[in-house]
Amino acid sequence: MIADLKAKLGDFYDRLRNLSEVDFEIKKEALAKEFMELTKPKLRPLALRQKIEIFLLSPEIISILEARPQEVQGRH
C-alpha cells in the first residue's frame, strides 16, 4: 500500500515537473484536487459509515450510553 502510494506520488511529481509554467497555471486547481485525493486517508465504505451514523444518531443509543458508565462504576 505504501509502495503503491509512493509510485503514484512519483508519477504525479514527474508530471508536474514536465508541465510548462503556463500549463501549470491553467491546471493548478485540478492538480491540487488530484494531490488531495492521492494523499487523503481512505474512508470506510459509505454503506458502513451510514450504518454507524444511523446507530449513533438513534434515540435508543442515549440510554445505552447512559447505562454504560453506571455499569462500570458498579464494578469498582
C-alpha cell of 16? 508536474
- Report the share of the chain in percent with pLDDT over 70: 76
Question: Tens digit of pLDDT for each residue in 45-72?
Answer: 667 777 777 777 777 767 777 776 666 5
Please tell me the pTM assigned to this model.
0.51
Which residue, 33, 26, 28, 34, is CA-closest to 9? 34
Provide the CB-side half-sphere exposure for 9 (13 A, CA).
Answer: 10
Q: What are the distances in angstroms from CA 74 to CA 14, 62, 63, 70?
A: 61, 19, 17, 6
